[in-house]
Amino acid sequence: MKYISSLSTLLILLIMSSCQKQAEKTVVSETSNKEKAPTAEQIDFLGITDVNHLSAASKRALEWPTDLGNDWFIEFSNLQPLKGDLAYEEGVVRRDPSAMIKHDGKYYVWYSKSVGKTDGFAGDIENDKVFPWDRCDIWYATSEDGWTWKEEGIAVARGEKGAYDDRSVFTVEIMEHDGMYYLSYQTVKSPYNVRVKNQIGLAWSESPNGPWTKSAEPILSPADNGVWKGDSDNRFKVEKKGDFDSHKVHDPCIIPYNGKFYLYYKGEQMGEAITFGGRQIRHGVAIADSPKGPYVKSPYNPISNSGHEICVWPYNGGVASLITTDGPEKNTIQWAPDGVNFEIMSVIPGVSAHAIGLNRTADVEKEPTEILRWGLSHIYNSYDYQSIMRFESHRKTTHVAKGENSQ
């Protein structure tokens, strides 16, 4: 009897405890709902008709930050052709311009360069050119005004047969630090098939004119945790997709930040999917104590839900990023106070510029998007041939009709 009585008491206590927890949850839920009740200002600003009948869109709008303003909202102008050696040249591919730096009164830019049409994967991949960025070397050019450019020659060439970069070196970015210059770039080793794993290489020099010393090994490689399925003629068939960067690491950009070096890059996953935002592409970051590495991938990767080419710059103690082309958050400008945890600061109209080469001489603290006022981009003149162009942008803070006074 004593056992049954004790069991009954225990059961009653458990029921009472459960009821108390449920009551606490109800109070928390009610408090939470009260906190989320729209203010009069929100109702007026969003034009809500009836607070008792909120659509899914209105509920999302009530979650938007209210303190962002329009400091980050910009529009891009149409691309404009360059003059001199970087003007379009039939039969030549010039693409993926790096950021620009200034040295001895001249702007410097580095870029991918190849010649000849693209053959694709249907032919002899050992000897054909499968992409416009296949069989590239890294070249550089200089300009006094940012419009007329002189091509100076090769900066970094492909490696010897058997090297990790023997097929192509391309999509380059420049970093200047403590009197040294560093070029980070993508590499491909032959044969260039659909399942080849791109890596990232590095070269350094005491002068922007070279000569450049290349790293003996890649400084970053794809994650090694995906599993292909079947033959090697289909990159979409996998048994396991692996990390967001299990297939390729692309578009490197190293910036000094908080006493370390942050290598931002684009990841492509094995068995890449198409989502409601387009291609499934995300960005990552790897961090090192020295420009030459070793680089360790952040455990927080991926650090974006979207994007294509990397376009990052320091601002207000953090790092800003222009996200374009792919994914549900494409065409946004984002900012991370710690260089890792990015939040959307503005959603902008479609971006005319691609593979943006920033003007690193801009005053990045003047305003959030000052560095985007002008720079370089590439354009597809045709599928086979691309050239480098100039982009411009402007802040947009009002919308008025012709002749209307906005004051």
Q: What is the pLDDT of residue 123?
A: 87
Residue bearing tokens 């032959």: 190
Q: Is it the case that residue 17 has pLDDT exceeding 80?
A: no
Mean pLDDT of all residues in 148-166: 98
Q: Which residues of 354-381 are buried (b: 16+ CB within 10 A; e: fewer)?
A: bbbbbbbebebeeebbbbbbbbbbbbee
pLDDT above 70 covers a percentage of the chain that reads 91
Asked if 270 and 288 count as a contact pair (C-beta separation under 8 A), the reply is no
CB-count burial class (<10 Å; 0-12, 13-18, 19+) for 165: buried
Predicted confidence at residue 14, as pLDDT, reads 42
Residue 10 — pLDDT band, cuts 50, 70, 90? very low
Per-residue pLDDT at 373: 97
Which CATH number describes the domain made up of 74-395?
2.115.10.20
Global confidence as pTM: 0.89
User: Residue 397's pLDDT is what?
Assistant: 86
Q: Residue 285's closest CA among 259, 315, 317, 253?
A: 253
Please give the average per-residue pLDDT across 317-336, as a whole number.
96
Confidence of residue 6 (pLDDT cuts 50, 70, 90): very low
Cβ-contact 145, 113 below 8 angstroms: no
pLDDT at 191 over 50: yes
Question: Alpha carbon of 298 to those of 131, 256, 283, 330: distances in Å?
Answer: 30, 16, 11, 22
pLDDT of amino acid 26:
42
- How do beta strands 312-315 and 318-323 pair? antiparallel
**Mean pLDDT across 246-259:** 97
CA dist list (Å): 44 to 39, 40, 49, 51, 347: 9, 6, 9, 11, 22
Q: What is the mean pLDDT of the chain?
A: 91
Which residues, listed in sequence order, are joined to residue 150 by a DSSP beta bridge?
Answer: 142
Look at the block and give the residue holding tokens 């399942």.
Answer: 195
Residue carrying structure tokens 């290598």: 263
Q: Is the pLDDT of residue 291 over 70?
A: yes
Summarize the confidence of residues 17-32 as an average pLDDT.
44
pLDDT at 167 over 70: yes
pLDDT band at 231 (very low <50, low <70, confident <90, very high): confident
The closest of 403, 390, 395 to 145, measured between CA atoms, is: 390
Rounded to 5 degrees, what angle do the CA atoms 185, 220, 177 make?
A: 60
- Per residue in 30-77, pLDDT (tens digit) is 434 444 688 999 999 899 999 999 999 999 999 988 777 889 999 999
The yes-or-no verdict on residue 18 having pLDDT over 70 is: no
pLDDT of residue 340 exceeding 90: yes
pLDDT tens for 353-387 read 989 999 999 999 999 999 999 999 999 999 999 99
- 218, 200 in Cβ contact below 8 A? yes
Average pLDDT over residues 204-231: 97
Query: Residue 390's pLDDT is what?
Result: 98
Q: pLDDT-based confidence at 398, cuts 50/70/90?
A: confident
